[in-house]
Amino acid sequence: MFKLDLTGPMEADEGTIYDLIVIGAGPAGFTCAIYTSREGWKTLILEKAASGGLIAKTHRIENYPGFPDGIDGSELMERFQAQALRFGAQLAEFEEVTSIERLQQGTGESDPIFHLKTNSGKTYQGRAVLLATGNLLLATGNLPKKLGIPGEAEYFSKGVSYCATCDGPLYKDQDTIVVGAGNSGLQESEILLKYAKSVKFIEFLPYSTAAKVMQERVFNHPKASILLNHMLTEIKGGKTVTSVMVKNRDSGELTEIPTKGVFIYVGYEPPTDFIKGLVKLDKAGYIITDEHMATSLPGIFAAGDVRSNNLAQCAVAVGDGAKAARGIREYLHKQKG
């Protein structure tokens, strides 16, 4: 079993001007930091929760190259972190960046420095910035997309959850509902299937968008069942959830299904509010980049799930991180002459 070895400097310094500040300690951020720190660029990673990102909450990853038997998401991210720190990258956890300001240190365009303010009141300085914030960090309150139906907000944490990895054990021997039969819903349901009495999937589309191998494994489980082309219209209960109302999208028929837990996986909101007006975003709020991962503002790059039109996969985030490192290296060389 891999043992995490946290070598390398860990203390972030407000007085230091870093060559690169990475926002987000997930696959994209760590990969870029591995490349840049290995090349001698002074690199700081700022993470608003515990490092690892969304993938660290994934029970089992089976499609990441190099692990034919699969690997636990948290262990994979521990490996990424250890490698980045070994090459000299610095990591500051629970430092949420709230604003970025581009300031000129001199009179020329070759002297810009980015000042990143965090929720702790600190300000960090960097010559370049990588936005690798992914889609979601539950620990800081950024929730996935909501259904917007009656009962959803009222019963949050009282039967409504967005994280089966976190809350699955609470529903031992209970009937549960999973809304969304895509990759996220099915991956998370594997934890739920270990504890719950039953897991019924409610999928808006007439088919599941999850990987075929995952569909076969989950839907063939004796505790699992699925209603395709259906949608949740209401969550009911007393002190906690007791049932849901489900609508057949073909017939319009409404059915009440008893349940103790409702787990919702219908997509995520990109955490980009703090950079609105700074770089160009698409209509959904994701960051627009070129092929070198550069944004509309020179010196700021983006990689991973937060990038527009990107496939939310670990392998893609890693590739983005490597591309970003090359783009950042070229940018920094030009800035330093």
pLDDT at 143 over 60: no
Task: Looking at the structure, tell me whether residues 92 and 105 fall in a common domain.
Answer: yes
10 Å Cβ neighbour count for 290?
A: 10
Task: Looking at the structure, tell me whether residues 105 and 218 fall in a common domain.
Answer: no
10 Å Cβ neighbour count for 19?
A: 22
In a domain, 256, yes or no: yes
Task: Looking at the structure, tell me whether residues 248 and 279 fall in a common domain.
Answer: no
Q: 211 vs 117, which has greater pLDDT?
A: 117
pLDDT-derived band at 137, boundaries 50, 70, 90: very low
In a domain, 78, yes or no: yes
Least confident of 28-42, 86-100, 250-264, 300-314: 300-314
Domain endpoint, select from 264, 293, 323: 264
pLDDT-derived band at 51, boundaries 50, 70, 90: confident
Range of the domain at 309: 17-138+269-336
> What is the CATH classification number for the domain harbouring 65?
3.50.50.60
Least confident of 17-31, 82-96, 151-165, 263-277: 263-277
Domain endpoint, select from 219, 245, 264: 264
* Tens-digit pLDDT profile for residues 301-331: 999 989 998 877 889 999 999 999 999 999 9
Question: What mean pLDDT is predicted for residues 97-114?
Answer: 78
In a domain, 195, yes or no: yes
Least confident of 53-62, 103-112, 152-161, 189-198: 103-112
Task: Looking at the structure, tell me whether residues 164 and 234 fall in a common domain.
Answer: yes
pLDDT at 63: 81
Q: 259 vs 7, which has greater pLDDT?
A: 259
Task: Looking at the structure, tell me whether residues 34 and 128 fall in a common domain.
Answer: yes
Task: Looking at the structure, tell me whether residues 158 and 254 fall in a common domain.
Answer: yes
Give CA–CA dist 21/325, Å, rounded. Answer: 12
Domain endpoint, select from 229, 264, 299: 264
pLDDT-derived band at 61, boundaries 50, 70, 90: confident
* Tens-digit pLDDT profile for residues 226-276: 999 999 999 999 999 999 999 999 999 999 999 999 999 887 777 788 898
Task: Looking at the structure, tell me whether residues 230 and 315 fall in a common domain.
Answer: no
In a domain, 314, yes or no: yes
pLDDT at 138: 37
Q: Which residues contact 31 (CB under 8 A, 6 or more apart)?
A: 80, 303, 317, 318, 320, 321, 322, 325
Task: Looking at the structure, tell me whether residues 185 and 250 fall in a common domain.
Answer: yes
Phi, psi of 97 (to 5 degrees): -75, 125
Nearest C-alpha neighbor of 242 from the set 173, 166, 160: 160
Task: Looking at the structure, tell me whether residues 282 and 133 fall in a common domain.
Answer: yes
Question: What mean pLDDT is predicted for residues 127-152?
Answer: 74
Total-model pTM? 0.72
The token duo for 126 is 């960097």
Q: What is the average pLDDT score of the chain?
A: 88
Nearest C-alpha neighbor of 151 from the set 252, 69, 236: 236
In a domain, 89, yes or no: yes
In a domain, 7, yes or no: no
Q: Which residues contact 210 (CB under 8 A, 6 or more apart)?
A: 181, 182, 183, 185, 186, 218
Q: Are 189 and 164 in contact (CB under 8 A)?
A: yes
pLDDT at 110: 56
- Count of the separate structural domains present in the chain: 2
Give CA–CA dist 206/12, Å, rounded. Answer: 50
pLDDT at 127 over 90: yes
pLDDT at 231: 95
SS3 230: strand
Q: Are 160 and 266 in contact (CB under 8 A)?
A: no
pLDDT at 60: 73
DSSP 8-state code for residue 274: G
Task: Looking at the structure, tell me whether residues 67 and 170 fall in a common domain.
Answer: no
pLDDT at 7 over 80: no
Task: Looking at the structure, tell me whether residues 105 and 48 fall in a common domain.
Answer: yes
pLDDT at 1: 43
Task: Looking at the structure, tell me whether residues 225 and 291 fall in a common domain.
Answer: no
In a domain, 11, yes or no: no
